Chains A and B, each alone.
Chain A
Amino acid sequence: MDLKPESPAVLADRIRLRAVRMVAAHGLGYLGQALSSAEILATVYSGVYRPGLDRIVISPGHYVIGAFAAAAECGLLDPATLATYGHDGSHLEAIGTERSPSIDLTCGSLGQGLSGAVGFALSDRLRGRAEARTVVLVSDGELEEGQVWEAAMFAAHHGLDNLIAIVDANDSQVDGPVTEITTIEPIAGKWRAFGWHAEDVDGHDTEALATALDAAVAAGRPAVVIARTSTTTGLSCLPDGTDGHFVKLPQELAERAATELEARLA
């Protein structure tokens, strides 16, 4: 893979800029998911995930916008196709589907991706692919689904040490902040109690993420990185009270957002 030479922090803003342009074409969309996961995806694609050898699972299908942007930045997807994102007839649907390129599994129905990642990790074990990793992005809202914990129990019991989960803890779900809907804390404590190695870091700090992911690789058991993020980070132009689940991005705001990111990347 020919990664861009930039640092993961720069790559993160490039992902944001791609996402802004993809959402701008519609005036609204899953921009918050890209903003919260930009550093996570940039760090993952810069190191721990090795296309061709490893698997990548995007459990919340709404996050596929960020995965498309990251894949385009990393030469895994023709950037020109991003212009079709979310449009009629496009293979780049706004919520991930079977047609979504550049990823091994994505789930529009929440809470299912970790089971799929477990299946991939199990397959690698059955086939003796000891070097291969499965990296799975999970959102904090998904932790409300019981299936996530079924999969977590299974992974720990079977010692799937080639499995790395990253929880984008952006405290956002459809009806508001996760913390107001259901208490899911202590997130790291729950995973540890389920037998996982767990790290809890600032999800917008690429160095902290990289260090945590290195520790996850070396953990010798399934490992999770809880990445604390927000759905508006990296775009100061977004109005206060922006709904991070489904951001409204009228043309004028989209232009300000692109200008802000371009200035930072210049």
Chain B
Amino acid sequence: MSDPGGTPAQAPVSRYRVRFAKDGPLRWVGHLDLQRVWLHTLRRAEVPLAYSAGFHPHPRLLFAASLPLGFIGRAELLELGLTERLEAGALHQRLRHCAAPGLGIEDVASVEAETPALGRGLSGFDYLVTLDPSSATTLPARIAALLATTTLPRERRRRAYDLRPLIQRLELTAEGGLSMRLSGGVGPTGRPDEVLRALGYEPADATIERRGLCFDAAAATPPSGVAAAAAPVSTPSAAPGPSPSTS
């Protein structure tokens, strides 16, 4: 018998963007494990995923950005390539019904064919950090001191970088939490745990939530209905709807 040549590609005929939350038991899994959790969820929901060709076909599953283990995600983005066209609302219902505990299906929207790949134009992330209430008194002073610096040299994986320019916003919330927008996506990524260390806090003592992903206005990926440039398009109030084409 001849050597079989693997399976042919199943090109996606439709694409969908899913905004989801990662919380509960899933807070404690890393990105690779989250991918498997998603695959199991999609199989339970009998979603007709498209696959790449070859001996080891890969499902058409694209995450906008991986979320570090231990962080809670409130508005993560995922794009699915399917071999059939489904009604987004029906897909939403199926996913919600079959989702693993800890996986919240917030919204599902179909994506037009000409829309650029998910992740294009990603420029930053919004985080909300909850600290021990006892730390609240010294927090304003620490924030002010940090923001007054012009450079914060750091090293990650033996590469030097400057954390300071990656901090786009850093402020106290009314509830005493810490809200920050950090650069990420195209260029270097600012990590909230590094910011916490710079403020003098042990990140393991904090609860870190990613509240949204921000996209450049120029990259034209914000979904319809979100006007502001660099708006956190995936905050719970905004849908990851079909994006206007780049033309």
Answer whether A and B are interacting partners: no
What is B's interface to A at a CB cutoff of 8 Å?
none
